[in-house]
């Protein structure tokens, strides 16, 4: 059973008979500013979409929806998250884009081993918890438009990650462990403050697209030539030296599309 009440200008959570029978609840694009503690009565809920509302907090009881697989909370006003969200062990998609989050509870990600997609874009995050490395099945991670200054070494354990978007942050360096992301195909690092890249980036044999535009790069590691599946490289708006330009020419001759 599903209920869709999107775009109804709801200012309070609707009264729903037999909440235990519901599997999908869509309340997108309304005016909700809170959820009731009784949200835990929706015992069999698998999809909950609350994007584009006015939520500022979430009840602890939300963590009792243990069958939840998709939770969409994007475009709200959340400045913190209850630690109980970390008990949603069946969660596959968690979307928190465009909120006011400046940190995540360290325990939030420790047990979300089924998570496939995590969207943290457009918040105020300065760092990611080390526990992000516990997301063993994560495939897509978006953290664009934040204030990240560094990445945890543990990010290198995300062996199933194929898409990583770190556009528009404050990164100056990347950990060597990034080279362990053997499934990575897309890497967006545009508009950061990177001075260099780790040599281990050459270990990303499945990498097809890498965007490094608008950083402070003066040189590129020679190991980039090891990326035999690379199709597109954007290094515009950097300060590359002559040696790096020769490297780019070599990549061009290998069939890589280059944007300078």
Per-residue model confidence (pLDDT) at position 33: 97
The answer to whether the pTM exceeds 0.75 is yes
Euclidean distance between CA atoms 50 and 9, whole angstroms: 13
Residue 223: closest CA among 197, 260, 249, 190:
197
Neighbours of 246 (CB within 10 A): 10
- Mean confidence (pLDDT) of the chain: 97
> Which domains, from first to last, does the chain contain?
2-259 (3.80.10.10)
Measured over the CA atoms of residue 39, residue 42, residue 45 and residue 49, the dihedral's sign is negative
> For residue 4, which phi and psi values (nearest 5 degrees)?
-120, 115
At residue 20, does pLDDT exceed 90? Answer: yes
Per-residue model confidence (pLDDT) at position 245: 87
Per-residue model confidence (pLDDT) at position 197: 97
Per-residue model confidence (pLDDT) at position 7: 98
32, containing H or E segment:
none
The model's pLDDT over 62-117, given as tens digits with 9 standing for 90+, comes to 999 999 999 999 999 999 999 999 999 999 999 999 999 999 998 999 999 999 99
The model's pLDDT over 117-145, given as tens digits with 9 standing for 90+, comes to 999 999 999 999 999 999 999 999 999 99
Evaluate whether 30 touches 36 at the Cβ level (below 8 Å).
Answer: no
Share of the chain above pLDDT 90, in %: 98
Evaluate whether 79 touches 101 at the Cβ level (below 8 Å).
Answer: yes
Evaluate whether 154 touches 130 at the Cβ level (below 8 Å).
Answer: yes
The model's pLDDT over 35-52, given as tens digits with 9 standing for 90+, comes to 999 999 999 999 999 999
């Amino acid at each position: 059973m599903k209920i869709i009440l999107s775009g109804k200008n709801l200012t309070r959570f609707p009264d729903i008979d037999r909440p235990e029978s519901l599997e999908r609840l869509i309340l997108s694009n309304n005016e909700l500013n809170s959820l009731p503690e009784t949200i835990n009565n929706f015992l069999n809920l698998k999809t909950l979409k609350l994007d584009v509302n006015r939520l500022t907090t979430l009840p602890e009881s939300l963590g009792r929806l243990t069958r939840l697989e998709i939770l969409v909370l994007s475009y709200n006003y959340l400045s913190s998250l209850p630690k109980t969200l970390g008990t949603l062990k069946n969660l596959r998609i968690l979307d928190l884009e465009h909120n006011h989050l400046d940190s995540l509870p360290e325990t939030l990600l420790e047990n979300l081993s089924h998570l496939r997609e995590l969207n943290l874009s457009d918040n105020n995050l300065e760092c990611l918890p080390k526990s992000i490395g516990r997301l063993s099945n994560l495939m897509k991670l978006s953290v664009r438009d934040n204030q990240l200054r560094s990445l945890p070494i543990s990010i290198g354990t995300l062996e199933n990650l194929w898409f990583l978007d770190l556009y528009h942050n404050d990164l100056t360096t990347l950990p060597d462990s990034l080279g362990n992301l053997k499934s990575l195909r897309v890497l967006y690092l545009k508009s950061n403050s990177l001075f260099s890249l780790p040599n281990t980036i050459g270990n990303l044999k499945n990498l097809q697209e890498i965007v490094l535009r608008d950083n402070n790069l003066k040189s590129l590691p020679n190991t980039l030539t090891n990326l035999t599946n690379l199709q597109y490289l954007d290094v515009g708006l950097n300060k590359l030296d002559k040696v790096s330009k020769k490297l780019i020419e070599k990549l061009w001759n290998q069939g890589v599309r280059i944007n300078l």
